Amino acid sequence: MTDVFEVRAWDGAGRLGRLDVPRAGVTVETPALMPVVNPHLRTVTPVRMEELGAQILITNGYILYESDDYREQALDEGLHSLYDFSGAIVTDSGSFQLSVYGNEEVDIDTREILQFQHDIGSDVGTPVDIPTPPDADRERATEELVTTRERLELAADLDLGGMLLNAPVQGATYGDLRERAGREARATGADVFPVGAVVPLLNDYRYAEAVEVSLAAKRGLGPAAPVHLFGAGHPMTFALAAAAGSDLFDSAAYALYARDDRYLTVRGTEHLADLEHLPCPCPVCADHGADGLRALADEARERRLAEHNLHVSFAEMRRVRQAIRAGDLLELVEARARSHPAVLDGYRALLDASETIERTDEASKDAFFHLSAESARRPEVRRHHDRLVALPVEGQEVLLSEGDRNDAFDETWRVVPPFGPFPRTLSETYPLTAEVPERTDRAAQAAAGRGVTALAEANPDVSFTLAHWAWPDDVLATLPDRVTTTPLGEDTPPDDGA
Ligand SMILES: [Zn+2]
Query: Which domains, and CATH codes, for the chain?
Result: 5-352 (3.20.20.105), 367-487 (no CATH)
Residues in the chain: 498
pLDDT (average), residues 119-147 = 95
Please check the confidence at residue 98 and state whether its pLDDT lies above 90.
Answer: no
Query: Which residues, including other chains, have CB under 8 Å from residue 318's CB and lie 6 or more apart?
Result: 53
Q: What percent of the chain has pLDDT over 70?
A: 95
Q: How far is the CA of 342 from the centre of ligand 1 (A)?
A: 24
- Compute the distance from residue 365 Cα to the ligand 1 centre, in Å: 32
Burial string for 374-406 (b: 16+ CB within 10 Å, else e) reads: bbbbbbbbbbbbeebeebebeeeebbbbbbeee
Report the run of H or E that residue 344 belongs to, with start and end.
Answer: helix 341-352
- Distance, in Å, from the CA atom of 469 to the CA atom of 98, rounded to the nearest integer, reads 61
Q: Please name which of 124, 332, 311 lies closest in space to residue 241, comparing C-alpha atoms.
A: 332
3-state secondary structure of 125: strand
pTM of the predicted structure, to 2 decimals = 0.93
- Percent over 90 (pLDDT), the chain: 89
Higher pLDDT, 102 or 300: 300
User: How many angstroms separate the CA atoms of 318 and 329, rounded?
Assistant: 12
CA 58 vs. chain centroid, Å, equals: 19
300 Cα to the center of ligand 1, angstroms? 15
pLDDT tens digit sequence for 99-119: 666 665 566 788 999 999 999
How would you list the strands of the sheet with 5-11, edge to edge?
5-11, 14-21, 26-30
pLDDT digits (tens, 9 = 90+) for 263-295: 999 999 999 999 999 999 999 999 999 999 999
**Crossing angle between the packed helical segments 207-221 and 341-352, to the nearest 10 degrees:** 30
Per-residue pLDDT at 69 exceeds 60? yes
Range of lowest pLDDT (103-117, 139-153, 433-447): 103-117
Q: What is the mean pLDDT of residues 467-473?
A: 96
pLDDT higher than threshold 80 for residue 349: yes
CA of 223 relative to ligand 1 center, distance in Å: 35
pLDDT confidence bin for 94, thresholds 50/70/90 = confident
Q: List pLDDT tens digits, range 19-48.
A: 999 999 999 999 999 999 998 888 999 999
Q: Of the listed 92, 261, 328, 361, which one is catalytic?
A: 92
Position 498 scores a pLDDT of: 43
Alpha-carbon distance of 443 to 418, in angstroms, equals 8
CA distance 317 to 319: 5
Q: How far is the CA of 283 from the centre of ligand 1 (A)?
A: 7
CA of 336 to the centre of ligand 1 (A): 18
What sign has the CA pseudo-torsion 371, 377, 380, 386?
positive
Give the chain's count of helices (H) and strands (E).
20, 18
Cis (ω within 30 of 0) for the bond into 31?
yes
Residue 269 alpha carbon to ligand 1 centre in Å: 13
Determine the distance separating the centroid of ligand 1 and the alpha carbon of 252, expressed in angstroms: 17
The yes-or-no answer on residue 119 being catalytic is no
Q: What are phi and psi of 85, to 5 degrees?
A: -135, 130
Compute the distance between CA of residue 383 and CA of residue 431 in angstroms, rounded to an integer: 10
Backbone angles phi, psi at 463, to 5 degrees: -95, 120
Angle at 205 between CA 441 and CA 102, to 5 degrees: 155
Confidence of residue 131 (pLDDT cuts 50, 70, 90): very high
Core vs surface per residue 233-256: b (16+ CB within 10 A) or e: bbbbbbbbbbbbbbbbbbbbbbbb
Peptide bond into 431 cis (omega under 30): yes
